[in-house]
Amino acid sequence: MLRVHTTLLIVGMLAACGDEESSSSELGAPPSSNTFTDTGVNDEDNEDFPPLPDINGDPFVPDVVEGVFYDDESPLWVLTAKEGGTWLTIENYPSFGGAEAPETRVLDANEVDYATCGICVMLRTGCTAHGDHGHCSKSFMPEAGSRVTFDTLGDGGGTQWSGSITPIRFIEVTMSGSSSTPVEGGEQIELDTWAFDVILSEG
């Protein structure tokens, strides 16, 4: 089975910048040719985690919050929230274990790896817009244990998508294709609880 991560144009654009593997990333509008073969998920760490007690996150106050629904054989929801050069994205892939209805999801070992996440939460910093895509200098994935809640999950243009995240500690990662690898000794960013409520557009 081929999985398509439609919001990251990493391979081609990073190659154009001279980097085959980097903590930087490119964001662009679907469709993307960035695919890889799904090898399944690791269930041995797929368990509930207690809330992380020592996160003292900074408030996240985005200037722009947008939600897009891509109606295809494999539906996809993409939320993008931008606070200056810091961009937070939430991608929901039901065909890879993501949410099909409102729920609260623990970000377990599967959800914090971009290769296996069904609900993918990613933070990027140093982001600037370039036409129909953006370039970001660093990429971050969550540390396991935080939670994402979808209170509503619309499935078409003009419908509502709302929810929240608990405080999250993000770990710097390198992106290679559609997989993420933690950077040894890399930067960490902590964000406080944040809620969103958007009207979806059709992608």
Tokens of 61: 């106050």
User: Residues 74-133: pLDDT tens digits?
Assistant: 999 999 999 999 999 999 999 999 999 999 999 999 999 999 999 999 999 999 987 777
Closest C-alpha to 25, from 75, 98, 77, 80: 80
Q: Residue 145 burial (CB < 10 Å; 0-12/13-18/19+)?
A: buried
31: left (phi over 0), alpha (psi -120 to 50) or beta: beta
Cis peptide before 51 (omega within 30 of 0): no
pLDDT at 131: 74
Burial code (b: 16+ CB inside 10 Å, e: under 16) for 3-19 equals bbbbbbbbbebbeeeee
Tokens of 18: 């001279």
Cα dihedral sign, 20-33-199-155: negative
User: Residues 140-195: pLDDT tens digits?
Assistant: 999 999 999 999 999 999 999 999 999 999 999 999 878 899 999 999 999 999 99
Closest C-alpha to 142, from 125, 123, 164, 118: 123
> Mean pLDDT throughout 13-31?
43
Which comes out higher in pLDDT, residue 14 or 163?
Answer: 163
pLDDT at 23: 55
